[in-house]
Amino acid sequence: MNGIHYRPEIDGLRTLAVLGVLIYHAEFALGDGILLQGGFLGVDVFFVISGFLITSILRREWLQTGTISIANFYKRRARRILPALLTVMLVSLPVAWFLLLPSALIDFVKSLLASLGFCSNAYWLFSLQEYGAESALLRPFLHTWSLAVEEQFYILYPLLLLFLWRTMPRVLPSVLLLLMIASLGAAVWLTKIHPSFSFYMLPSRLWELLAGGMLVFLDDRKPWLKLGWLPRGSLPLLGTVMIIGSFIGVGQNNHPGLITTVCVGGTVLLIATAGSGGLVIRLLSTKVMVFIGLISYSLYLWHYPVFAFARIHDHSLGMWEKLSLLGVSVILASVTYFTVEQFFRKPVRISLPKFATSMGMATAAIIVFSGAVLAEGGIMNRFPKLAALYNHYEFDNTLLKREKNGKAAFFCEKQPEFSTKEDTEKVLIVGDSHAIDFYVALMLNQDGFPNMEFCLYNLEIGEPDAIFQEFYQTKKFKKADHVLISSRIAAPNHKEHGGVRDIENLEHVIRSLQQRGKNVLVATNTIEFLYIENLPPFDWFVRNTPQGSYTFDDINRFLWDNRKLDEVPPINAEIRKIARKTGAVLLEKAEYMSNPERKTCLAVTPEGRKVFYDYGHYTVEGARYYGRRIHELGWLRLESNGQ
């Protein structure tokens, strides 16, 4: 290990870390939750180990040579990290080609490029913030965010140590300690104000890496750990209990932060006291634990794309399927370790020029593939049979969603505020993504509402009063004559979307708006549809019904039969009660979305275009169609009709 005495128990510790991560990502059901709900903390264990080993290597080199070769350090890191990473990427390319729809393939290659640049933590920080973003479990290279954090650390850390050793060696441990404390403080603060940034970025993870590094600078005798009255091996046992206890009992709230110190502290304690022996150290040093630890890097790399691709193919993975996928991950990792990692890591097996050439060729292949995908918009002609079932690109619902959101952004930029005209009724549409749908529908048909102006303001109905106070101070609100609430309002204690939309808050919001002189309109929840085999009903029907054997009415009737009747109607009944109680104008979305007499939902436009891209959000063509119907029916009334 580059001149460092080999410690098998550290490989065993790696095994604990990687197993925690694997079990967490597999999501084995346990009551209402999952097994090892804190298994993600295995990444934090890896950070501590990395900090300890890298600092040990650099310190040994400094003591032996009086300097640090930054070039040699980066060469070793490249040999350690790149071969297995590029192997997993190259093997994933054909799987992605055959499995991923155009939008998903575009996202996939962007994540590959970010991973190659070791900035995927920043990429995922921003891409996962998109409203309605695809589940993180369906992103094959999401896990490379942790590699990016480590690589960013490796770029800066040797330079810092070299500078401190040359200029102020006596205070070096103190400087690292101060940095560690500052980073922990930043983690606590950032987790409160921007949890995603705190989770993915180096400033709030640095303390974990430095916690491992600080161990190297402790007195070799470690007098603070020589507690003779303690039973042999009790401190490593305590450290292990802290780690496993965190895996079992810690959730993602307030992480990284003070709660993370339990797992990080346990890792530090175990590494520091391994020399005291005991049962735990013997278990961590067994052949099985050491072997899994040796392949842990490849295992970490392989498991996430294996599970992500499997979930994309079939969302409903059972326990045996998940166990099988774990087995596949272990096999792939073992093969990669012996044939790739071991070969490329040692200069005696492959010289630096040959290593650089092979890594360069692999990287170039990935970049060329990614460039082609981006240039051709996801290469839609990969699915000719699927495309033949739809009009244009309508088989890719993510593209439809992005097109709709892009149209909303265009309208918001074109008309960011209400005009100063006095002869128009100014309608401010407030709510979540369903407010966006409604806004786009009206803006695409604005000619049908010559006496009205529309603006949009995204605001969850269940937000605290402080957020609404900010809203009340905006120019849009002050100029608005009418506020139209269009949102997916959930029942009390509803778990979806974090339970932020609470119907109990709706009456309070309406009355607050009315007290500020606004005429309030409230729309019922949109009609929602049940998924069939992980597909929206429109897509399932088109893909499972012989082409030419059905009419648009058949599709519309099929969606009518697949409405969510156990959720939406009861909530809409409550919305009606609140509207009557407060005197708000009630707008029934079902009036323009369906035909109850014919038992149809209008899920296809007269031109044959798809209206919904998921359970109930409008496509651009769907919004255009519904906006036209709203105009034709005279549906958008600004005064109550006595309901």
Q: With bands split at pLDDT 50, 70 and 90, how would you rate the model's confidence at 30?
A: confident
* Beta bridge partner(s), residue 453: 426
Each residue of 388-410: pLDDT tens digit?
888 766 899 999 999 999 999 99
Ramachandran category for residue 498: left, alpha or beta (phi over 0 → left; psi -120 to 50 → alpha): left
DSSP string, 426-457: EEEEEESHHHHHHHHHHHTTGGG-TTEEEEEE
For 142-190, how does the pLDDT look when each residue is reduced to its tens digit (9 = 90+)?
Answer: 999 999 999 999 999 999 999 999 999 999 999 999 999 999 999 999 9
- Most confidently predicted of 6-15, 358-367, 533-542: 358-367
Alpha helices (runs of H) in 516-551, residue ranges in sequence order: 537-544
Instruction: Give the torsion sign (CA, 307, 313, 315, 319).
Output: negative
pLDDT tens for each residue of 128-139: 865 445 678 899
Average pLDDT, stretch 320-337? Answer: 97
User: Residue 580 and residue 643: Cα distance in Å, rounded?
Assistant: 6
Three-state SS letters, 69-92: CHHHHHHHHHHHHHHHHHHHHHHH
HEC-encoded secondary structure of 251-279: CCCCCCCCCHHHHHHHHHHHHHCHHHCCH
Nearest to 147 by CA among 179, 176, 180, 114: 114
CA angle (172, 173, 177) in 5-degree steps: 120
Take residue 220 and report the two structure tokens written for it. Answer: 């070799």
pLDDT higher than threshold 90 for residue 39: yes
What DSSP element (H or E) covers 476?
Answer: helix 475-479
Residue 496 has pLDDT above 70, yes or no: no
Which pLDDT score is estimated for 274?
83
Question: 603: exposed, middle or buried (C-beta count within 10 Å: 0-12, 13-18, 19+)?
Answer: buried
pLDDT digits (tens, 9 = 90+) for 202-251: 999 999 999 999 999 885 545 555 555 566 678 899 999 999 999 998 98
Is the pLDDT score of 4 beyond 80? Answer: no
At residue 2, the pLDDT reads 43
The dihedral through the CA atoms of 421, 427, 432, 437 has a sign that is negative
Cα separation values, 71 from 154, 155, 360, 485, Å: 12, 11, 18, 60
Mean pLDDT for all residues in the chain = 91
pLDDT digits (tens, 9 = 90+) for 607-616: 989 999 999 9
DSSP state of 144: G
Strands 600-601 and 594-595, by their bridges, are antiparallel
**The pLDDT of residue 191:** 96
Percent of the chain whose pLDDT exceeds 70:
93
